[in-house]
Amino acid sequence: MSADVKPSRNATLAAFGERVRARRTELGLSQEQAAEKIGVHFTYLGRVERGQRSLRLESVLKIAAGLGTTPGRLMDGLPTE
């Protein structure tokens, strides 16, 4: 890992970010395209996908809606610390 890249904050955020990235790629969207659909900046979405951003409930709902999925699909069974 590059010295410039921050690690994930914890296992829960890392797993959530992996699910967001998987859904985005399933839809064939770039980060920029997905961020536009969601209504966030692409750098914010990148931090979410890397597990570097802890989210508010409203943000989880917004991401799920923008990616055409449910919050449950993104969150069910996530590891807890």
Give the percent of the chain with pLDDT over 70.
Answer: 94
CATH code for the domain of 17 = 1.10.260.40
Least confident of 6-10, 28-32, 71-75: 6-10
Domains held by the chain: number: 1
Enter the pTM of the model.
0.89
Q: Is residue 56 part of a domain?
A: yes
Report the pLDDT value the prediction gives residue 30, as an integer from 0 to 100.
Answer: 98
Q: Is residue 75 part of a domain?
A: no
Q: Is residue 32 part of a domain?
A: yes
Report the pLDDT value the prediction gives residue 19, as an integer from 0 to 100.
Answer: 98
Domain that holds residue 56: 11-69
Taking residues 41-54, what's their average pLDDT?
A: 96
DSSP letters along the chain, please? Answer: --TTSPPPS-HHHHHHHHHHHHHHHHTT--HHHHHHHHTS-HHHHHHHHTT-----HHHHHHHHHHTTS-HHHHHTT----
